[in-house]
Amino acid sequence: MTDPVEFDTVSPPDEPSREAALTRHERLTKPRGSLGRLERLGAWLAACQGQCPPRPLERARIVVFAGDHGVAARGVSAYPSEVTAQMVANFRAGGAAINVLAASVGAQVRVVDLAVDSDAADADAADAGDTAGSAYRVRRSSGSIDAEDALTDDETHAALAAGRAIADEEVDAGADLLVAGDMGIGNTTAAAVLVAALTGTEPVAVVGRGTGIDDATWMRKTAAIRDALRRAKPVTAEPVALLRTVAGADITAMAGFLAQAAVRRTPVVLDGVVSGAAALVAEELVPGARAWWVAGHRSPEPAHALVLEQLDLDPLLDMAMRLGEGTGATAAIPLLSMSVRVLAEMATFDEAGISGPTGP
């Protein structure tokens, strides 16, 4: 059996740099506080970088964690499982929404197949040019979580180790901002179960429309979530066992990635309900990790609202986006870039010879 995966502890972002950024904002040529949340966002990035003004963001990386889910066979999605492999090919060809959004904001996309339900040989072929992609493949799909564990212990450790290694690779290659995206038919069922388990919520309050399911599918999905939640209950306080029971290799790797990004002091933009569910588990694995995350957007999935509340994160955008792939997070990247550049490039009152506020 493989060894359990250990994570170092998380240290908080640098408070003096945050303070310096907030103080600098008082001296920039604008009424005090007038850039609103953009000011706090820049201060957060200054704290993450440990310097004020912060460096411009130059290497934002989006990692799409792809995997299939056995529970899809219960009829819980509006699309068939084969779409996962087809979309992985689309990502690699550059034709998916995330490719276009990433190109628009100057970010790069990396796709990693953790458990796509296709032949490993296909994955190897598709991974040509991205050798790391197939190297991290843990298995094909996952157990149907309403009736069996998603993964074995060994697979859970392998997926966590994969996510940790991917974060290390990205940080070592100079990433200054990370996004965890997801692709996997059926993954909103697994995400909803994780969120319900970790927030003590009833199935009907976490079930969402996913890819756009009809009412009959909603009933099957709710039943699957109910059954999986019953299986998850005994391991709710054990994050690794919870991942083994109801997550799947893609979400498990994402949790490892989010945990390790925080350990490595690298800021992350969270996406929708799937990255949110992984983030809830990552915060259990390495408490304090949430200080390294910002919520890029609010997904209409009800479980996402629970994630945001539990992690005390206020999303930057509310665009009714429910695609996944990291698209909601990537749409928020321009705000992060602006927040940094404002601190670095705006003139101060002194420099511009502009009168400051009247009064004391």
Ligand X SMILES: Cc1cc2nc[nH]c2cc1C
Nearer to ligand X, 123 or 343 (CB): 123
3-state secondary structure of 84: helix
Q: How far apart are CA 29 and CA 236, in angstroms?
A: 50
> For residue 349, what are its two tokens?
């009152």
- Taking CB under 6 A as the binding criterion, the range among 125-133, 305-313, 323-331, 340-348 that sits at the site for ligand X is 323-331
Q: Which residue is nearest to ligand NCN (CB)?
A: 324
Structural contact between residues 266 and 48, judged by C-beta atoms closer than 8 angstroms: yes
**Could you tell me which residues are beta bridge partners of residue 200?**
none
| Single residue of 118, 141, 188, 339 touching ligand NCN by CB under 6 A | 188
Please list, in sequence order, all residues whose beta carbon lies within 8 angstroms of the beta carbon of residue 135, skipping any fewer than 6 positions away.
Answer: none
Nearer to ligand NCN, 171 or 293 (CB): 293
Beta carbons within 10 angstroms of residue 358's beta carbon: 5
Nearer to ligand NCN, 231 or 304 (CB): 304
Please list, in sequence order, all residues whose beta carbon lies within 8 angstroms of the beta carbon of residue 141, skipping any fewer than 6 positions away.
Answer: 67, 68, 69, 70, 81, 115, 116, 117
Nearer to ligand X, 203 or 324 (CB): 324
Nearer to ligand X, 299 or 337 (CB): 299
Binding to ligand NCN by residue 185, rule CB under 6 A?
yes
| Single residue of 68, 170, 271, 284 touching ligand NCN by CB under 6 A | 271
| Single residue of 313, 323, 331, 333 touching ligand X by CB under 6 A | 323
202 among known catalytic residues: no
Structural contact between residues 41 and 87, judged by C-beta atoms closer than 8 angstroms: no
Binding to ligand NCN by residue 13, rule CB under 6 A?
no
Q: Give the type of residue at 113.
A: D
| Single residue of 108, 152, 211, 236 touching ligand X by CB under 6 A | 211
> For residue 172, what are its two tokens?
């070592």
Structural contact between residues 35 and 345, judged by C-beta atoms closer than 8 angstroms: no
| Single residue of 149, 227, 284, 301 touching ligand NCN by CB under 6 A | 301
Structural contact between residues 260 and 7, judged by C-beta atoms closer than 8 angstroms: yes
In the set 15, 301, 325, 345, the catalytic residue is 325
**Alpha helix segments (H runs only) across 94-130:** 97-105, 120-126
| Single residue of 52, 88, 273, 294 touching ligand NCN by CB under 6 A | 273
Residues marked active site are found at 325
Residues in contact with ligand X by the rule CB under 6 A: 79, 83, 87, 183, 211, 323-325
Q: Which residues bind ligand NCN (CB under 6 A)?
A: 77-78, 182-189, 210-211, 213, 271-274, 299, 301, 304, 322-325
